[in-house]
Amino acid sequence: METDTIAAISTPIGEGAIAIVRLSGKEAISITSEVFKGKDLQNVDSHTINYGKIIDRQTDEVADEVMVSVMRAPKTFTREDVVEINCHGGMVAVNRVLEILLSRGARLAEPGEFTKRAFLNGRIDLSQAEAVMDLIRAKTDKAMNVALKQMDGRLSALIRSLRQRLLETVAHVEVNIDYPEYDDVEEMSHDMMRESTKVVHAEIEELLTVAKQGKILREGLSTAIIGRPNVGKSSLMNTLVQENKAIVTEIPGTTRDIIEEYVNVRGVPLRLVDTAGIRETEDIVERIGVERSRQVLKDSDLILFVLNYNEELTEEDLKLFEAVRGLEYIVIINKMDLEQKLDLAKVDKISDGKPIVTTSMLKEEGVDTLEKAIADTFFSGDIDTGDLTYVSNVRHIQLLKKAKQALEDAMEGIELGMPLDIIQIDVTRTWEFLGEIIGDTASDSLIDQLFSQFCLGK
Ligand code: GDP
Ligand code: ZN
């Protein structure tokens, strides 16, 4: 058990931000009170905020004016005594306050160590701990809601109920095997087994479906803009960037350089692939041919394919249509303020039922419709994250896939009429994979690895 007192700066490092130095551990309050000028923190009530100054005891200088929150165990994030020092004097002062605390016996926290303690002290389960990490990295408000939901334990609760169902199934089989003489324990039939596995399988599939949306919310939709020269790709890019200012969330730990690579279109973060913004690709087919263009474009989650309203379809346009076939794309017919020369019926026919939006980047018309189309492509309408339990974590998704596979092995065994004690092995594997999501069967090394990914100060 870790008992020393840890400290770290737990807010974004940037101008103007109020920074917080957080301590957790048995001596959090006594260490702080040694360097605090104001009320005697050792005797203040729990969960109070106290104004005062942090003093460098070696020089007697004031390091910063601060507000200190004192929170006594166990009703704290880590279930240990926690002190949060709100500093106002900018980064230099914050660092100084941290140094002073370290000189008094606090230890600099490892990345994720606060959250790790919360986990080890039973305050949160593993999936909630990971949600904290996602929260730190959340790029839009919606992504943040997802992370908050998960922290709430909704995913955990669902996983627990699925495991419970599987466990009961397994237990039933065990009883039949161990006590065949008990007639009153109903023989676990293949039908019952089929029913249970079906229900759990459907739930896992649903989680995996929303996982894709969760991934987009978390990582952004990698987006390419393609079209012949001069159709308006740069104009489109600029419009999107101007109308959807880079996402700035107030989440501690989010770093600006990452945030600025995203634009937020109705809650959907578009990932700006290169420094210029959204990757703009012209002459791609000319340069590298249809097949290789397809390979390149396949890496995008979404392609914005721009045509010119004022020109007839060209051979090059047709090649681009070939390159995007089967991929996720939206056709944008730009320059609608000019005379129509494009054969719209033909575009409609070759665009595979994909959304077609007419715009004028010059007059800023049709941009709303386009943004709606972008959002609709992934979330049939403006989604309400409040109603969904998202899985937005790569490790969870992998475990869900493994659980699903194991369950399908079991289901195949059921259909083949294999003995229930054999089928039970796969059901147990499913149960174990699901358990790993909430940390019930996670090994220590897995836990260490996960927590080391956390930002410092969380
Ligand atoms: P790109 O080569 O595909 O990136 O196209 P640009 O965005 O650089 O635009 C090419 C030219 O078309 C520029 O002079 C733009 O001002 C102009 N343009 C872009 N969109 C429109 C539009 O909707 N209507 C008109 N009339 N001109 C536009
Ligand atoms: Zn351009």
Question: Taking the domains of the chain in order of start, what are their residue ranges?
Answer: 6-109, 141-215+393-451, 222-387
* Number of residues that make up the chain: 458
Write out pLDDT tens, residues 124-165. Answer: 777 777 777 666 666 566 666 666 666 667 778 888 889 888
Backbone angles phi, psi at 139, to 5 degrees: -105, -20
Q: Is 113 exposed, middle or buried (0-12, 13-18, 19+ CB in 10 A)?
A: buried
> Cis omega before residue 74 (within 30°)?
yes
CA distance 344 to 371: 21
The answer to whether residues 299 and 329 touch, using CB atoms and an 8 Å cutoff, is: no
Contacts of 95 (CB under 8 A, 6+ apart): 9
Question: Residue 279: how many CB atoms within 10 A of its CB?
Answer: 21
Q: Assess whether pLDDT exceeds 60 at residue 350.
A: yes
Give, as one character, the DSSP assignment of residue 274. B
Give, as one character, the DSSP assignment of residue 366. S
In CATH, the number for domain 141-215+393-451 is 1.20.120.430
Confidence of residue 173 (pLDDT cuts 50, 70, 90): confident
Query: What interface predicted TM-score (ipTM) does this complex get?
Result: 0.98
pLDDT for 30 equals 96
**Strands, E assignment, 309-412:** 329-334, 356-358
Q: Assess whether pLDDT exceeds 80 at residue 21.
A: yes
Q: With residue 73 as reference, give the H or E element that holds it.
A: none
Its CATH class, for the domain covering 222-387, is: alpha beta
CA distance 426 to 421: 10
Centre of ligand 1 to C-alpha 231, Å, is 6
Average pLDDT over residues 229-242: 82
CA distance 401 to 346: 42
The average confidence (pLDDT) of the chain is 78
Q: Assess whether pLDDT exceeds 60 at residue 390.
A: no
Q: Assess whether pLDDT exceeds 90 at residue 175.
A: no
Average pLDDT over residues 2-15: 70
Q: Assess whether pLDDT exceeds 60 at residue 383.
A: no
Centre of ligand 1 to C-alpha 223, Å, is 20
Q: With residue 7 as reference, give the H or E element that holds it.
A: strand 6-9
Which atom, in ligand 1's list, is nearest to the CA of 359? 23
Average pLDDT over residues 13-42: 84
Pocket perturbation via mutation, ligand 1, pick of 361, 365, 370 by most ligand atoms within 8 A of CB: 361
Joined together, the tokens standing for residue 229 give 């020269």
Q: Which fold has domain 6-109?
A: Gyrase A; domain 2 (3.30.1360)
pLDDT for 44 equals 93
Q: What residue owns the CA closest to ligand 1's atom 19?
A: 232
Dihedral of CA atoms 84, 89, 92, 93 in degrees, nearest 10, equals -50
Q: Assess whether pLDDT exceeds 70 at residue 78.
A: yes
Q: Is 415 exposed, middle or buried (0-12, 13-18, 19+ CB in 10 A)?
A: exposed
Pocket perturbation via mutation, ligand 1, pick of 225, 228, 235 by most ligand atoms within 8 A of CB: 235
pLDDT winner (highest mean) among 57-66, 259-268, 343-352: 343-352
- Which ligand has an atom closest to residue 226 CA? 1
CA distance 49 to 375: 43
CA distance 276 to 192: 58
Pocket perturbation via mutation, ligand 1, pick of 225, 226, 230 by most ligand atoms within 8 A of CB: 230
Write out pLDDT tens, residues 395-444. Answer: 788 889 999 999 999 999 999 988 888 898 899 899 989 988 887 765 55
- Which ligand has an atom closest to residue 235 CA? 1
CA distance 458 to 452: 11
Write out pLDDT tens, residues 243-270. Answer: 664 433 333 333 333 333 467 777 677 7
Measuring from each residue's beta carbon to the nearest atom of ligand 1, which residues come in under 6 Å?
227, 229-235, 334-335, 337-338, 360-362
Q: Assess whether pLDDT exceeds 70 at residue 445.
A: no
pLDDT for 121 equals 83
